Amino acid sequence: MRSSTLFQRINRHPRPVHVRFGATAAAQRPSPHRDVTGARCVPPSDSLVEFGAYVGGKRIQVPGIPEAVELVRAHNAASGAGDAYVWVGLHEPEALEVEWLAEVFGLHPLAVEDAIKAHQRPKVERYGDSLFVVLKTIAYLGDDDTSATGEIIATGEIMLFVGSDFVVTVRHGRHSPLAEVRARLEAKPKLLARGPSGVLHAISDHVVDRYLSVADLMQAELEEVEAAVFSDVSSRDISRIYQLKREMIEMKRAVTPLRTPLGALPQRRMIPSEMREYFRDVVDHLSRVCEQVESSNELCNSILQAALARTNALANEDMRKISAWVAIISVPTMIAGIYGMNFDNMPELSAAWGYPVVVGTMLIICTILYRGFRRNSWL
């Protein structure tokens, strides 16, 4: 009876509460308190991006996270429907903030440690009745000012704690924010009604879609470099190819390890049967990304080998030209050196026809050498 009264009292004002950075967010955050387990905690600070309580696909106004947890669990216990949950979003939180949420939601210490340290391998792990999911995020920088460091793509992480009545997202890196995902879900109550597994699907689908867009942009970069290599290769092109190769390896490290754990996610008992086909669709998109990244990586290797081979060929061609001109110039140099030794008794020194004969001989020999080198494509 108490849970029903609590739900009706809070649901009278269905306007959602958005908690964001700044002074407004600080005013809305709860003060130090004891959570539903009785443990005294410290509330999240600036890392808290947004939180909300959702019942039957609708967002319910709540003053704080502990109150949202109490409302959701009371409603699920009273109705037995299990369609209420809490979604909390954090961005690069401190250890104290994650530990506070760990006490509120009962998160596993090992998963909390991974969320604090970040830089984890993509994975899906089960801790009791909850899942801990690590997704690598990728953003294409392109001609942005942030690419002045030489990076083409930037990576980050999204870590999700998914339980029967809560979703906690911990994001590292300033790219791939989840505000778009939350707004899209809140605009469609049917999507929100899917529960925490629906939020997990929406976030993983969002991340994999970013993979696809970045892979397409990297493919376009490779095609542009490939065209430059076969038209006029330079040392700048070689450096660009090495840069692309490094970024492709980084992207492969982010995408490929997720294929196996995400592929096994539809078989887990925590995922409702009606949601498994949605996860299989995400896995299918991820497989496409992995194949595209692998083919782009091989193409990058081929372009690099072709660029090096073309550079060597151009260098050999230049050396042939230099050698041919040296051979041509060596003939007049040799003859001039002989007749410039200033000996008294040398033939043809006093002959009137000596100079034109020597010059003519030089021109004839040089012409023969030039035509021979041209015939052999040295000049």
Strand-pairing partners, residue 190, are none
Q: Is the predicted pLDDT of residue 2 greater than 70, yes or no?
A: no
Bridge pairing between strands 166-172 and 84-91: parallel
Homologous superfamily assigned to 317-375: Magnesium transport protein CorA, transmembrane region (1.20.58.340)
Q: Which residue has the tokens 């990058």?
A: 300
Residue 198 to residues 80, 123, 158, 224, 277, Cα–Cα distance (Å)? 19, 18, 16, 39, 12
Kindly report, residue by residue over 256-281, the tens digit of the pLDDT.
888 888 888 877 777 888 888 888 89
For the stretch 99-144, pLDDT in tens is 888 888 988 888 888 888 877 888 888 888 889 999 999 888 875 5
Checking if the pLDDT of 301 tops 50, the result is: yes
Residue 143 pLDDT? 58
pTM above 0.85, yes or no: no
Per-residue pLDDT averaged across 306-329, rounded?
Answer: 82
In this prediction, residues 332-339 reach a mean pLDDT of: 83
For the segment 311-332, the average pLDDT, to the nearest whole number, is 83
Contact 228, 255 (CB under 8 A): no
Residues 238-256 pLDDT 10s:
777 888 888 888 888 888 8
What integer pLDDT is reported at residue 158 of this predicted model?
A: 92
Q: Are 127 and 61 in contact (CB under 8 A)?
A: no
The answer to whether 324 touches 373, Cβ cutoff 8 Å, is yes
